[in-house]
Chain A
Amino acid sequence: MSGTVLAEAPERAAATAPTPPGRRARPARRWRRIVSPVALVAAWEGAARAGLLPAEKLPAPSDVLAAGARLARDGTLTTHLLDSLTRAAVGLLIGGGLALVLGTVAGLLRLGDDLVDPPVQMARMLPHLGLVPLLIIWVGIGESLKVALVALGAFFPLYFNTYAGIRDIDERLVEAARACGLGHLARLRHVVGPGALPSLFLGLRLAIGAAWLSLVVGEQVNAQTGIGFLMMEAREFSQTDVVVLGLVVYALLGLISDLALRLAERRMLTWRRGLRAT
């Protein structure tokens, strides 16, 4: 158990660290932080226009955007995007759901902890993307492979954070709730659930990150649709602009999902903002 906590700590730190500076920065600083990304993109555009960057290696950002507009107009982009999103959603639902159930069982019940946690701890040592060959043998190279990979990627971060979230709840608060006459179910609802929620959010954010990563790898194995397929196909026809477009789409998907989750977190964990303010 202590091993888990130690192993999880850096992940946790990495995930929470980037939030404070941006939010607290004064407007002037916020603008200053935009300068270097804009300069980089401008330099890239300039270098491509000047012929310093050969278009077949790295096309100009404007060309990538143009490719995006072209594919969006004829509906290709939407079709592939929807397929990728479906895979991610189904995988997340399966892996995340399983992680929530098992993490809760292991976190709440001593028996569950003894039965569930050891195999999960062992399985965690396997790099799940390294399982691709085995998964191909088990479930073939079709949709199930992609979904299985996403589910596997999403499972572990959410499981560990659910488990830790429940375990980290202050025993004294549970006792106070008992003293107020709350039974088992009421304690789950008023103390354990809300107390584990910050950890659940963190787990979900890590799980979604892992899901996109798994999707990228999965879609490069014999996909017929999806953003990954779009990129692999474009590579064969040397359409570098579409390859880069695929990368941009993946990045945007990660960014948007993270932002959405952070927004939800801020709405549901208002009490923590009060905590931060004092």
Chain B
Amino acid sequence: MATRTSRDLTGPPPVLTARAVRRSFGPAAVLAGVDLDVAPGEVVALLGGSGSGKSTLLRVLAGLDREATGERVVRGTAAVVFQEHRLLPWKRVADNVALGLSGPDVAARVDRALAEVGLADRRRAWPAELSGGQAQRVAVARALVREPDLLLLDEPFGALDALTRLRMQGLLRRLRAEHGFAALLVTHDVEEALLLADRALVLDGGTIAEELPVPLGPTRTPDDPAFGALRRRLLDRLGVPAP
């Protein structure tokens, strides 16, 4: 994929720019020219039905798909959290977080990242000894320790139970407020998108079909009428009929 160095004329350059991203599996074009920007510190939710290509797009944006075409620029560092924790079962928690890091202060950085997700005391544990939520928090710490400018999240809480998911959403909000990273959150959960994002995108037919600002402020609850209106609008766009 080509890289681009030019920058927009207004405001700080986006941490992530994607232009005309295409990806086909055989004859089926899953992504048919996606254009996307994520500003520094901005949280963008990427919604779409199942099979709409959300995860495919995220893999492309993470640089993990070599067969995609188009343009993709990441300014700064990016880190990925997948739907499954994807921790290496043969490495202890701390070694999983430290994977790929080098330098004299790695241990201290790992400890700090684990403390931030509330797992400082589990650094010697094996991944198999953790609960689903704990393992996913380690995965978040593994991304966080890289001090990313952009966090790419592929349905990171999709495999967790409802209570754990709520806690993880709170954790993500807190970490984002502290670190100010930008994030692209792939999700199929409209409420999650509205709770976390500054902007929501709907992927449909291989392109961004809808873009919706989420002007809800820092403290959000689903009881807010504005929240309900936005939810209705997104659900309509996703083809879910009103009850």
Q: Which A positions have Cβ atoms within 8 angstroms of B?
A: 172-173, 175-182, 186, 190-191, 194-195, 197, 269-272, 274-275, 277-278
> CB of B51 within 8 A of chain A?
no
Instruction: Return the chain A residue nearest B128 by Cβ.
Output: A275
Chain A interface main SS type: helix
B64 contacts A178, CB within 8 Å? yes
A277 contacts B129, CB within 8 Å? yes
B86 contacts A173, CB within 8 Å? yes
Task: With both chains docked as a complex, state the minimum distance between the C-beta of A179 and any C-beta of chain B, in angstroms.
Answer: 4
Task: Compute how far the CA of A182 lies from the CA of B84 in the bound complex, rounded to whole angstroms.
Answer: 19
Task: Compute how far the CA of A195 lies from the CA of B125 in the bound complex, rounded to whole angstroms.
Answer: 18
Task: Compute how far the CA of A140 lies from the CA of B64 in the bound complex, rounded to whole angstroms.
Answer: 56
Q: Which residues of B contact A177 (CB under 8 A)?
A: 88, 99-100
B100 contacts A175, CB within 8 Å? no
Task: With both chains docked as a complex, state the minimum distance between the C-beta of A182 and any C-beta of chain B, in angstroms.
Answer: 5
Task: With both chains docked as a complex, state the minimum distance between the C-beta of B159 and any C-beta of chain A, in angstroms.
Answer: 13
Residue of A177, A178, A180, A197 ringed by the most chain B CB atoms within 10 A? A180
User: A195 with B90: in contact, given A176-B82, A179-B79, A190-B99 (CB under 8 Å)?
Assistant: yes
> CB of B89 within 8 A of chain A?
yes
Task: With both chains docked as a complex, state the minimum distance between the C-beta of A102 and any C-beta of chain B, in angstroms.
Answer: 24
Given contacts A271-B90, A277-B129, 14 further A-B contacts (CB under 8 A): A172-B82, A172-B86, A175-B64, A179-B62, A179-B80, A180-B99, A180-B146, A182-B99, A182-B100, A194-B91, A269-B90, A271-B89, A271-B127, A274-B129
Task: With both chains docked as a complex, state the minimum distance between the C-beta of B37 and any C-beta of chain A, in angstroms.
Answer: 21
User: A271 with B128: in contact, given A178-B64, A190-B88, A194-B90 (CB under 8 Å)?
Assistant: yes
> CB of B227 within 8 A of chain A?
no
Task: Compute how far the CA of A172 lies from the CA of B86 in the bound complex, rounded to whole angstroms.
Answer: 7
Residue of A194, A195, A269, A274 ringed by the most chain B CB atoms within 10 A? A274
Task: Compute how far the CA of A25 lies from the CA of B213 in the bound complex, rounded to whole angstroms.
Answer: 62
Task: With both chains docked as a complex, state the minimum distance between the C-beta of A2 and any C-beta of chain B, in angstroms.
Answer: 22
A179 contacts B64, CB within 8 Å? yes
Task: Compute how far the CA of A275 lies from the CA of B91 in the bound complex, rounded to whole angstroms.
Answer: 12
Task: Compute how far the CA of A203 lies from the CA of B92 in the bound complex, rounded to whole angstroms.
Answer: 25
Instruction: Return the chain B residue nearest A275 by Cβ.
Output: B128
Q: Which residues of B contact A272 (CB under 8 A)?
A: 89
Among A190, A194, A275, which residue has its beta carbon within 8 angstroms of that of B126? A275
